[in-house]
Amino acid sequence: MARTPVPGGWRAARLSQGRVAGYQPFVMVDGEGVRCSLYVSGCPFACDGCFNEAAWSFRYGEPYDEALADRVLADLAHEAVQGLSLLGGEPFLSTGVCLDVVGRLRAAHGRAKDVWCWTGYTFEELLAEVAAGQDDKAALLAELDVLVDGRFEIAERDLTLAFRGSRNQRVLDVPRSLAAGRAVPWAGA
């Protein structure tokens, strides 16, 4: 059974070591179109059947540094690339890494490239985090275009689903969800 967060209980400032489990440029499975995928290290949700258990440790992988940031930005500049995907681990507990790379993308490309993010939090749990004063989570949420939310639930596993592993997970349009104050499905889902 995956762990359930208490609002404000898990904080990137205490947990993140600024490390990434991996980086894959020019992939076509982590969202719509050709994408650059950054996998951050560290996830406390501990879902049964997690696809990337090695990345539960916040000390796993390599440091996110200038060289990696430059490489990601150079790859994102390729005209075939639609956008950046943030996966984990848990991106909302590596907000230092995620906000840095998204900030660089927005500075270079504005909203011409999109940002997708996979999180173990539900959208409603993220709103509760924001209400509890988690400004870094609010800042990351504000930068996203699409959010795939919720824990992986092995009893709900469905290999036919696009972009998600279990039926409880949702593919959400983040700007519309934030404007409405409730989860709004992404139109392409």
Work out whether strand 19-27 and strand 34-40 pair parallel, antiparallel, or are unpaired: antiparallel
Q: Smallest distance from the beta carbon of 126 to ligand SF4, in angstroms?
A: 13
Cα→Cα distances 4→75, 168, 183, Å: 36, 15, 19
10 Å Cβ neighbour count for 184? 17
By three-state DSSP, how is residue 96 classified?
helix
Binding segment for ligand SF4 among 59-67, 86-94, 104-112, 129-137 (CB under 6 A)? 86-94
Q: Name which of 76 and 149 has its Cβ closer to ligand SF4.
A: 149
Among residues 88, 130, 147, 169, the one that binds ligand SF4 under rule CB under 6 A: 88
**Start-to-end CA span in the chain (Å):** 27
Among residues 16, 32, 120, 183, the one that binds ligand SF4 under rule CB under 6 A: 120
10 Å Cβ neighbour count for 57? 15
Cα angle 84, 89, 93; round to 5: 90
Q: Compute how many residues bind ligand SF4; rule: CB under 6 A.
A: 13
- Tracing tokens 């230092």 back to the chain, one arrives at 96
If binding is defined by CB under 6 A, does position 54 make contact with ligand SF4? no
Kindly give the interhelix angle for 66-76 and 95-109, rounded to the nearest 10 degrees: 40
If binding is defined by CB under 6 A, does position 90 make contact with ligand SF4? yes
If binding is defined by CB under 6 A, does position 47 make contact with ligand SF4? yes
Among residues 19, 113, 137, 151, the one that binds ligand SF4 under rule CB under 6 A: 151
Q: Which residue's beta carbon is nearest to the bound ligand SF4?
A: 120
Strand partners, 185: 172
If binding is defined by CB under 6 A, does position 77 make contact with ligand SF4? no
Q: Smallest distance from the beta carbon of 151 to ligand SF4, in angstroms?
A: 5
Q: Smallest distance from the beta carbon of 109 to ligand SF4, in angstroms?
A: 27
Interface residues with ligand SF4 (CB under 6 A) are 2, 43, 45-47, 50, 52, 88-90, 120, 151-152
